[in-house]
Structure 1
Amino acid sequence: MFNDKESFKQHFKEQLVSRLGKAVEEATPGDVYKVLGSMVREHAGRPWATTNRMYRETGQKQVYYFSLEFLIGRLLGNNLLNLDLLDMVRTGLAELGWDWEAVEEQETDAGLGNGGLGRLAACFLDSMASLRYAGHGCGIRYKYGLFEQKIIDGHQVELPDNWLQRGNVWEERRADKAVEVHFWGRVEIAEEAGRLVFRTVDQERIRAVPYDVPVIGYSEGSVNTLRLWSAESVTDMSRIGPGGQHGYHQYLDYNRSVESISEFLYPDDSAYEGKLLRLKQQYFLCSAGIQSILRTFAKLGRPYRELPDYVAVHINDTHPTLVIPELMRLLIDELGFGWEEAWDITSRTVSYTNHTLLSEALEQWPVGMVRELLPRVYMIIEEINKRFCAMLLDRYPGDPERIARLAIIEGEQIRMAHLAIAGSYSVNGVAALHTELLKSQVMAPFYQLYPERFNNKTNGITHRRWLLYCNPALSGLIVEAIGTDWMLSPRQLRLLEPLQHDASFQEKLQEIKRHNKLRLADYILDKQGIAVDPDSIFDVQVKRLHGYKRQLLNIMRVMHLYNMIKDDPTAEVVPRTVIFGAKAAPGYYLAKNIIKLIHNVVEAVNSDPDVSKKLRIVFLENYSVSLAERIIPAADLSEQISTAGKEASGTGNMKFMLNGALTIGTLDGANVEMHELLGDDNMFLFGLRAEQVLSYYRDGGYAAREIYERMPDISRVVDQLVQPGPFCAQEQEFIAIYQSLLDHNDEFFVLGDFHSYLAAQAAVDHAYVDLSAWMARAVKNIAHAGHFSSDATIHRYASEIWGISPI
């Protein structure tokens, strides 16, 4: 049906009739999307089956990538691209009277992730399939995503993200692959044939049903699987919980409890019930996933001691760490292994990626909660800790402080990062600086204990979605210049470097950038009612809103610029359009207060005739993958301004670089490696270095109030947070932000980096005036962006961690 354009058009019209009973002229854009999606899904079915059969018949070692998030975005266009059908389908639909963009807008972004963690997982799945590695995703099929963000009177309001409301054409429910997951109960211990046997009784039973989504590789790649687990009630009403509860009302309570497990991404954990639900989610994913893996492995007919030779389980941050005790439980209780052999199998199967340097983000679970909800799993964690501490005692006799720092259970808390390191064979950071800080600071005692386990794998992005798909005009220009090899070998983009000063190439690149800016400007006008100048610098900061990412520094810079223009309306200012997009966690008051501040500044700047001719501010609500695909190709300047030493890596920085935006940023995360490739001339660097930040945290000496009192321009902006004026409608409106800067000594060094940031922004203005020099820098960025392809990252994971080869 996709052999050629005419076959596609004919088959598409037939499918509209047979599936929906509609002729082409009666169909809506939603009808077109539904039918087209079904056709693509059907077309992918044969290579999907072929891939699975090939893995089974060859006994290929397979990777299972466990993550609580997979931020996959929309799949229609990306799947058509990878199947090499996108251009044909676009043209065919146009000839049938349908606008591709209108059809594409019918697909809802999958509500399966939140930020960089989930987007990285999605890029990795794309690369594994495209490079023909046997690698699958394992996650949860959330009924609702994080939330849909609405801005009402400048405040973030969270609405349910009911992304499945219109169904999901890409998924296949596999009821025959369902497994049971158990909670609560009590452990009975008996001796049988000279060994202890553990049985957990009176448990609550949950049915885990997988929904499989094909992961279609690019250009004849593999079709791997993203398996998403959904929690369902068991139908045997006589045995649904402790004590064999039964009855109609008990069943309704049980059913509601079950549904909640796969209902929301990241339930609010500020109260005990929310924290318990998060723990349930994590174990649900780990237990269902590991049971499924063992069932697949059993079909090979190999002894279970060979599991590490055929299976690699990778945990994306600490959320899936319970795979370690769960695999131990299944090996010991279900398959009859002794402790030592089970531990050997487990610790040679599991590998772990750490994603954070923030101590508050290193997960811990209360002992009492885990012991009650997962009694047998807790016993195993306790035994792991006991044996681990006994080993430490032999290694470090007379050093109880070191043992306490390393212990998995300490102070009635289970430290999941410690369990992940102790139970895995590889621990990797996600940028060179991040990994060094893990080894020297955050996880230094573990690095001293297991130096061979630690390694770096700098994050990457799939250039297929983030250039080929979302910026087709730029992709076409690159093909015209250097051919198509870069699509499968992205380091070939380096061949663009000699064109850095080529006037013709620069001119074409500039035209493409302006076209993308016009497209975004139309979107902003349509959605926000704000007219922006496409010839201004599109200055963009889009990412999760958090203190360390310093959206506050950016908006305070805008407030300062407003003050400067008001003081001298005739001053020469290079026009700017400053664009924000960010969601704040529902319970994160300070972040939500910063969103309100941004909107107050938007109102002040855009309504002032003196200022708005030179400066416009936009906040695009409900930031998502599909919105990023529209914003990133249009950006001139990428704001990567996190406090040095706080951002593990970042991947937004790579996406902007790939699309020819220049970076203003700190030497943090992967910015460090970008700087090594590009040099000082092709980035705008500012701010404290990581070692200076660490010194301030360790030794003190930073005094935000002293900076405030010494610098009149800074004190003016800070005072505007709490004094009625252009940005503050009522006194003390932003007292929480004010206090975070002065009373709490500015944890993220916003004031300390303020003047350095202003100097870097002045350098941006100076550089942008010379468009030829600016475009030369843009070409240099694109040419080096292949270094950050997730293809390269996955090759390194495959050879250096998982021990797998392309099929």
Structure 2
Amino acid sequence: MKLTTAQFKKDFLSEIETLYSTSLDDTTTIGQFIALGQLVRRYNSQSWTRTAKLYREHHQKQVYYFSIEFLPGRLLASNLLNLNLLSIVRKGLKELGLDFETISRSEPDPALGNGGLGRLAACYMDAMASLKIAGNGNGIRYRYGLFKQVFMDGYQVELPDDWLHHGNVWETRRDNKSCIVRFGGNVWLQPQPDGSLQAQYENTDDVLAVPYDVGIVGYHNDITNTLRLWSAELPPSVTQTYYSQAQRDRISEISKVLYPDDSNSAGQQLRLCQEYFFSSAGVQSIVRDFCATHHGMRSLGKKIAIHINDTHPTLVIPEMMRLLMDEHHCSWDVAWTLTTQVMSYTNHTILQEALETWPIGMFQGLLPRIYQIIVEIDRRYRAQQTPIFGKALIDLTAPLGNGQVRMAHLAVIGSHSVNGVAPLHTELLKTDVLRGLYQVYPERFNNKTNGIATRRWVQLANQPLSQLIDQTIGSSWRRQPDLLQTLLPYQQDDHFLHQLAQVKLTNKQALAAYVQRTMGIKLRTDAIYDVQIKRLHAYKRQLLHVFEILREYFVIKDHPDQPVVPRVHIFGAKAAPSYHYAKAIIKLINVVADMVNQDPVIGDRLKVVFIPNYGVSIAELIIPAADVSEQISTASKEASGTSNMKLMANGALSLATYDGANIDIMQAAGAENEYPFGLRVHEVYDYYQRGNYRAAAFYNGNPELKRILDSLINGTIPGIPTVGREIYDSLIRYNDEFFVLADYQAYVKQQQQISQDFQDQPTWQQRALANIAASGHFAADLAVARYADDIWQVPHDRLN
């Protein structure tokens, strides 16, 4: 839209007066943000209305992306960038004596996700809008999100993240789009005069699902799609029926927190409630909207695509069957054909424990009608496939087995497309994780490598780099990210490389200022910034990174006069509240950080920073400052990763195992511009098959490694007698499940090489530029275009 600075200032002051009945001088920063957000929404409201009308009038096929997580980050700057108003607003606020960055920082970070899964969903929503795909998100409006992480005595403590304290300026409550979701009760099939069966319900626990819609603004294209987040509330019957406080609490719990503790049956049941709640509400909403503009259900598969982002929304499959059969009177065969035409599934995990299963008894009691439908899916699957593939294979792959409802199996059987998120990951799905289902449905499996929104992770997060790229190759790369490859010739341009180094320095200064202000730790900006930012899990091997820190610490302590290349090790990670081992590693990192940072012998040559409450906004500060991107998961365990892509796009070099999309990054940017190391997938699987991995052999065979492990239990590291012993035992007594010790020596060798190479800054910047130039290959726009072409079959804007 077109807007002058003068008009913006007039509109903003009017908004302040309307909201607060006062002058600008008498407002707080959060008040200014709310007013600015309301104004931006008004600027965009006609676009949102026009978009919905456009999709309706053209009967455009709609994509519905279901995800239990969405991690959008702050939306003010993103919306202004996509509306092409960012520079106008910055200038206008400055003329009013305000600072845009200060106002922007007062926006709460929506606590709607944990990590890569939720951030990927948000990147893909941004890409769909920017490609003019009729895309919609479906998720849960968590009152407190995951949790606010604080460290007390080095331990992670989880506090409620009250991100809705001031409301959410971007959302619109849609009471008229609410629907009822049923739990429990009794369900039976009543014969009808025409011979059909009709589901009858009694004594159900009803929950009102109320949608809150958030506009997702496309990049410079007058398109605004919708992210619909569902809130659980008391049903309308509350006016006639008494609800005890316990009943009211049970309902509010459904949309209270993301990933409630599932270490007990009550927590498991709450998770299952959440998954059905948003799956049912979303599918009801979709079918209702479809019926408003279409006669009959026959064209459903041509007009609707529902995408299942990991196993959590898999219940959209039986829920769609329920609606088609029970409310729209389709036969089983017609309903199943339509359902499989509509559904597609992305698998995001290799770990068996993450392929969700639910005890049949719990499932049947909570979702009796859905269970009846899954029983019939299971019966028909077995009847159809057993004669072809044999009982043994079908027993392993059926939706019901070993007393469990198997969600990943249901997702594959009920979808027309199943994709992994990196070539290696997809191959492992075929040969290992979902091998049996691949034998039954080979045509359904395909790869769609993950992508990131370069608008957020470069254009917004790293404005100095974006401006340098604009000055060098023009601004078309902002719309066509593959044009970043035209930067490659500048590897031989000394002036450009110097400017690139200055960009990195600027970003390091910004991060160092934040760390000094919030944590009281002073960082050198000429040091290597070695970054590992991801969910805390044993397979991601933050432990290996800690061992390198201890190695560097001991080197300095043993040889205090020996020159070293200074290092700053930076962590950002949350551990699941019930994941005791991951929380032990957090404690270890924090204790090591205190030991290193407070040692006068070490000084400023080595620092360790664990920034609490890692999220999108903190990532936007860390990533542009990174020199080294730690992607060190055990080979075969990381499906893809996206922090690797964000870091490479900002010029970090990957210290990486041969896992997930690390392999694709090495191929795109050149392995010579990364630091690969460690076991390959076939070597990991060889250890599994032969059963001959001996962690103690690595421990006893390497005095340096032995010293590091012994420091966990001999008092060298103070204050961790229990945690240290637990971690030590996990590696030696319980044989190092994720091969940390096997990869230690190769990892250290590359770390030493990094210290040597970093001293040759021109060459280092050439390699950083190779990563930036190749990063367009991993843009979310390109990834989503592949989904649109190959899976959803929907039209989209071309990127060239």
TM-score, length-scaled by structure 1: 0.97
Which of 474, 478, 503 is matched with 2:469 structurally? 478
| Distance in 1 (alpha carbons) for counterparts of 2:552 and 2:565 | 11
Q: 1:254 to 1:732 in 2, by over 3 A?
A: closer
Q: CA deviation at 1:571?
A: 2.0
Q: CA deviation at 1:400?
A: 2.7
Per-residue CA deviations over 1:199-218 (Å, capped at 9, x if unaligned) read: 22221111111000000011
Provide the residue aligned with 1:783 in structure 2: 773
| Distance in 2 (alpha carbons) for counterparts of 1:330 and 1:17 | 48
Q: 1:732 to 1:229 in 2, by over 3 A?
A: closer
Q: CA deviation at 1:237?
A: 3.5
| Distance in 2 (alpha carbons) for counterparts of 1:797 and 1:301 | 25
CA contact (8 A) 1:62 1:312 kept: yes
Q: CA deviation at 1:730?
A: 5.2
Provide the residue aligned with 2:48 in structure 1: 48
Map residues 219-230 of structure 1 onto 2, 5 A cutoff. Answer: 219-230=220-231
Q: 1:731 to 1:202 in 2, by over 3 A?
A: closer
Provide the residue aligned with 1:196 in structure 2: 197
- Does residue 361 of the first structure (1) align with residue 354 of the second (2)? yes
| Distance in 2 (alpha carbons) for counterparts of 1:146 and 1:15 | 33
Provide the residue aligned with 2:652 in structure 1: 661
Provide the residue aligned with 1:206 in structure 2: 207
| Distance in 2 (alpha carbons) for counterparts of 1:697 and 1:97 | 64
Q: 1:68 to 1:288 in 2, by over 3 A?
A: same
Map residues 759-798 of structure 1 onto 2, 5 A cutoff. Answer: 759-798=749-788
Q: CA deviation at 1:94?
A: 1.2
- Does residue 625 of the first structure (1) align with residue 594 of the second (2)? no
CA contact (8 A) 1:283 1:320 kept: yes
| Distance in 1 (alpha carbons) for counterparts of 2:500 and 2:222 | 30
Q: For residue 782 of structure 2, what is the amino acid of its counterpart?
A: A
SS at match of 2:601: helix
Provide the residue aligned with 2:256 in structure 1: 263
Q: For residue 218 of structure 1, what is the amino acid of its counterpart?
A: Y
CA contact (8 A) 1:605 1:617 kept: yes
CA contact (8 A) 2:78 2:456 kept: yes
| Distance in 2 (alpha carbons) for counterparts of 1:456 and 1:2 | 41
Provide the residue aligned with 1:286 in structure 2: 279
Q: CA deviation at 1:613?
A: 3.0
Q: CA deviation at 1:702?
A: 1.0
| Distance in 2 (alpha carbons) for counterparts of 1:123 and 1:268 | 27
| Distance in 2 (alpha carbons) for counterparts of 1:635 and 1:510 | 12
Which of 708, 718, 721 is matched with 1:728 structurally? 718
Map residues 454-603 of structure 1 onto 2, 5 A cutoff. Answer: 454-603=445-594
Provide the residue aligned with 2:683 in structure 1: 692
| Distance in 2 (alpha carbons) for counterparts of 1:611 and 1:253 | 56
Provide the residue aligned with 1:235 in structure 2: 236
Per-residue CA deviations over 1:730-781 (Å, capped at 9, x if unaligned) read: 5444111111101111011111000100000011111101000000001111
Per-residue CA deviations over 1:46-93 (Å, capped at 9, x if unaligned) read: 000000000001100000000000000100011011111111111111
CA contact (8 A) 1:768 1:774 kept: yes
CA contact (8 A) 1:722 1:728 kept: no
Provide the residue aligned with 1:243 in structure 2: none
SS at match of 2:210: strand
Q: 1:667 to 1:730 in 2, by over 3 A?
A: closer
Q: CA deviation at 1:18?
A: 1.8
| Distance in 2 (alpha carbons) for counterparts of 1:802 and 1:55 | 16
| Distance in 2 (alpha carbons) for counterparts of 1:87 and 1:202 | 57
Map residues 79-158 of structure 1 onto 2, 5 A cutoff. Answer: 79-158=79-158
Q: 1:566 to 1:343 in 2, by over 3 A?
A: same
Provide the residue aligned with 1:242 in structure 2: none
- Does residue 386 of the first structure (1) align with residue 382 of the second (2)? no
Provide the residue aligned with 1:741 in structure 2: 731
Provide the residue aligned with 1:9 in structure 2: 9
| Distance in 2 (alpha carbons) for counterparts of 1:388 and 1:199 | 26
- Does residue 676 of the first structure (1) align with residue 670 of the second (2)? no
| Distance in 1 (alpha carbons) for counterparts of 2:738 and 2:562 | 32
Provide the residue aligned with 1:20 in structure 2: 20
CA contact (8 A) 2:129 2:135 kept: yes
SS at match of 2:307: strand
Q: 1:108 to 1:237 in 2, by over 3 A?
A: closer
| Distance in 1 (alpha carbons) for counterparts of 2:298 and 2:546 | 57
Provide the residue aligned with 2:404 in structure 1: 413
Q: For residue 775 of structure 2, what is the amino acid of its counterpart?
A: A
Q: Please tell me the root mean square deviation across aligned C-alpha atoms, in Å.
A: 1.2
Provide the residue aligned with 2:165 in structure 1: 165
Q: CA deviation at 1:2?
A: 6.4
Which of 297, 302, 309 is matched with 2:295 structurally? 302
Per-residue CA deviations over 1:629-662 (Å, capped at 9, x if unaligned) read: 0111111111111111100000000001001111
SS at match of 2:384: helix
| Distance in 2 (alpha carbons) for counterparts of 1:733 and 1:266 | 25
CA contact (8 A) 2:785 2:796 kept: no
Per-residue CA deviations over 1:421-447 (Å, capped at 9, x if unaligned) read: 000000000001100111111111111
Per-residue CA deviations over 1:121-141 (Å, capped at 9, x if unaligned) read: 000000000010111100011
Q: CA deviation at 1:490?
A: 0.3
Q: For residue 768 of structure 2, what is the amino acid of its counterpart?
A: A
Q: CA deviation at 1:389?
A: 0.9
Which of 231, 237, 247 is matched with 1:254 structurally? 247
Unpaired runs of 5+ residues, structure 1, are 240-245
Which of 754, 757, 761 is matched with 2:744 structurally? 754
CA contact (8 A) 1:199 1:333 kept: no
Q: For residue 386 of structure 2, what is the amino acid of its counterpart?
A: L
Q: For residue 143 of structure 2, what is the amino acid of its counterpart?
A: K
Q: CA deviation at 1:254?
A: 2.1
* Percent identical residues: 49
| Distance in 2 (alpha carbons) for counterparts of 1:254 and 1:749 | 47
SS at match of 2:529: strand
TM-score, length-scaled by structure 2: 0.98
Unpaired runs of 5+ residues, structure 2, are none
Q: CA deviation at 1:679?
A: 2.1
CA contact (8 A) 1:68 1:140 kept: yes
Q: For residue 804 of structure 1, what is the amino acid of its counterpart?
A: V
| Distance in 1 (alpha carbons) for counterparts of 2:181 and 2:720 | 53
Provide the residue aligned with 1:326 in structure 2: 319
Provide the residue aligned with 2:29 in structure 1: 29
Q: For residue 794 of structure 1, what is the amino acid of its counterpart?
A: V
CA contact (8 A) 1:2 1:8 kept: no
Provide the residue aligned with 2:388 in structure 1: 395
Moved more, 403-412 or 358-367: 403-412
SS at match of 1:752: helix
| Distance in 2 (alpha carbons) for counterparts of 1:589 and 1:188 | 43
| Distance in 1 (alpha carbons) for counterparts of 2:93 and 2:642 | 34
Q: For residue 750 of structure 2, what is the amino acid of its counterpart?
A: A
SS at match of 2:200: strand
CA contact (8 A) 1:728 1:734 kept: no
Q: For residue 686 of structure 1, what is the amino acid of its counterpart?
A: F
SS at match of 1:212: strand
SS at match of 1:405: helix
| Distance in 1 (alpha carbons) for counterparts of 2:605 and 2:246 | 59
| Distance in 1 (alpha carbons) for counterparts of 2:248 and 2:156 | 32
**Paired residue total:** 796
Q: For residue 485 of structure 1, what is the amino acid of its counterpart?
A: S
SS at match of 2:226: strand
CA contact (8 A) 1:210 1:230 kept: yes
